[in-house]
Amino acid sequence: MAGIPSFGTDGLRGVANRALTPDVAVALGRAAADVLGGSRAVIGRDTRRSGAMLEAGLIAGFASAGVDVELLGVVPTPTVAWAAGGSETIGAMISASHNPYEDNGIKLFAPGGLKLSDAIESQIQTRFGALLEGHVEPGPTGPDVGQLVDGAGIEGWIDSVVNSVGTDALRGQHLVLDCAHGSASDVARPIFERAGATVTVIGADPDGVNINNGVGSTHPELLCRTVQEVGADAGLAFDGDADRLIAVDGSGSIVDGDHVLALLALDWKQSGRLANNTVVVTVMSNLGFHRAMAKADVEVVITGVGDRYVLEALNEGPFSLGGEQSGHVICRDIATTGDGVLAGVQLMDAVARSNATLSELGSAAMTTIPQVLKNVRLPALDPALVTRLGPDISAAEERMGIDGRVLVRPSGTEPLLRIMVEHIDDTVANQVCDELVTRTQALIES
């Protein structure tokens, strides 16, 4: 299957009309229908100008397999998951999340609004590759060909987010919402206003090419300044497809995904909502998070990087709360996937009920241990590189003891080796990380 796009950690992603062409979208729609079954598909997209092009390909792919298609338009990724909640409905979201506008991607949801397992993804990849290579069996004809159909729209998803806290839950709060010129641009304001908040919105003027450009969860600097300038209580930044949340407190300081999860875990434990007294996070979560949860007697389940692995663990628990430091927060008792808007509503509801500020709650929830992350570019994929680096990693861990940790892993999307070091002393963290980077480079050259 040389030259055929492969699934990364979250669907297909690449430069639109190069790696990700209309032909690719047609084949992926057909493959998803063949493997996942179902009689209906819902398609959403973010604000990239290439979205409509890929949407047309997906429509053709699904329809050629006899699947009817409902178009949701520009919506957050979790809206697609919600709309795919039926047992016969496949979901497809066209977005490259926080990537620049030139890129795009396609994420799939199985009927029920669930992310794909590794096994199902592998089946779709095989079928997708065969279709791209021209191995196409005859599809349905006549009345059995799929068609565009009307649906219920997204009001049900909006209602579910607002109703998760109530229409007056956020009354008295002044919030700044940064929509990243992306999927949340039209829906964030009405949701938070219906929940009772006074809202100032930035990053909500998409033009097809400005998504994530200096705004959103990966560029929160403008949000930090705006919160201070308008005297808001807090700010919430979403990424391009609004499945990720980074918060900012009233002083303009960032509240990352670890702090959001820690704050919600403590609040939910107190209210009895934290299922099995457990929160699920990835290996990237800060050491300070783990210390805070241990102090609060909350169990922590650790997964590999990627919100779909967090979801698998949540479903297996079953547990109600999980996510990633990067801002994917999954409220599994309400939703089937990460939802930045829902997480923001839940976070600010916890703040409102506490009679404290976001800054006070975030500081009380956990203390971040200095974390250093550096990438080493690889000339080629080398699965054995981490094993070869093993003795150096062990020596670094022994040197730091209980005050630090090391995590070395290959990137899931690029030819990079990611080296992360945490230590209570940031000087030590930087020194150890630099030493491991130097050693890695030496191994590459040897």
Q: Which domains does the chain have, with CATH numbers?
A: 12-152 (3.40.120.10), 173-255 (3.40.120.10), 256-368 (3.40.120.10), 371-445 (3.30.310.50)
Burial of residue 102 (CB within 10 Å: 0-12, 13-18, 19+) is middle
Percent of the chain residues past pLDDT 70, beyond the cut: 98
CA 47 → CA 145, 173, 239, 422, distances in Å? 29, 29, 12, 37
Confidence (pLDDT) at 10 = 67
pLDDT digits (tens, 9 = 90+) for 363-373: 999 999 999 99
pLDDT digits (tens, 9 = 90+) for 209-253: 999 999 999 999 999 999 999 999 999 999 999 999 999 999 999
What tokens appear for 237 in the block? Answer: 């930044």
Which has the higher per-residue pLDDT, 172 or 152?
A: 172
For the chain, how big is the Rg over CA atoms in Å?
A: 22
Residue 74, SS3 per DSSP: strand
Confidence (pLDDT) at 5 = 75
Active site (annotated) includes residue 97: yes
Spatial separation of the C-alpha atoms in residues 173 and 163, rounded to whole Å = 17
Spatial separation of the C-alpha atoms in residues 170 and 177, rounded to whole Å = 14
User: Helix (H) and strand (E) counts for the chain?
Assistant: 15, 18
Confidence (pLDDT) at 2 = 41
Sheet holding 299-303, edge to edge: 299-303, 278-282, 321-323, 329-331
- pTM here is 0.92
Residue 156, SS3 per DSSP: helix
- For 319-332, the DSSP string reads -SEEE-TTS-EEET
DSSP state of 209: S
- Tally Cβ neighbours within 10 Å of residue 205: 12
**Sign of torsion over alpha carbons 252, 258, 262, 268:** positive
Spatial separation of the C-alpha atoms in residues 152 and 85, rounded to whole Å = 13
pLDDT over threshold 50, residue 1: no
CA 438 → CA 123, 358, 374, 383, 416, distances in Å? 40, 40, 11, 18, 14
Spatial separation of the C-alpha atoms in residues 236 and 19, rounded to whole Å = 33
Single out the residue of 120, 93, 123, 119 nearest to residue 108, CA to CA.
93
Confidence (pLDDT) at 55 = 98
Q: Which of 97, 164, 183, 359 is catalytic?
A: 97
Q: Mean pLDDT across the chain, nearest whole number?
A: 94
pLDDT digits (tens, 9 = 90+) for 122-159: 999 999 999 999 888 889 999 999 999 999 889 999 99
Which has the higher per-residue pLDDT, 172 or 6?
A: 172
SS (H, E, C) 7-61: CEECEEEEEECCCECHHHHHHHHHHHHHHHCCCEEEEEECCCCCHHHHHHHHHHH
Confidence (pLDDT) at 412 = 67
Identify whether the C-beta of residue 248 lies closer than 8 Å to the C-beta of residue 234. yes
DSSP state of 255: E
Arithmetic mean of pLDDT, 281-302: 96
Report how far apart the first and last C-alpha atoms of the chain are (Å, whole number). Answer: 31
Q: 318-328 b/e with 16+ CB inside 10 Å = b?
A: ebbbbbbbbbb
Burial of residue 377 (CB within 10 Å: 0-12, 13-18, 19+) is exposed
Identify whether the C-beta of residue 25 lies closer than 8 Å to the C-beta of residue 12. no
- Single-letter residue type at 441: Q
CA 397 → CA 227, 229, 282, 283, 392, distances in Å? 40, 44, 19, 15, 9
What is the pLDDT confidence band of residue 401, given thresholds at 50, 70 and 90?
Answer: very high
Spatial separation of the C-alpha atoms in residues 223 and 236, rounded to whole Å = 8
- Single-letter residue type at 225: R
Identify whether the C-beta of residue 381 lies closer than 8 Å to the C-beta of residue 350. no
Confidence (pLDDT) at 118 = 87
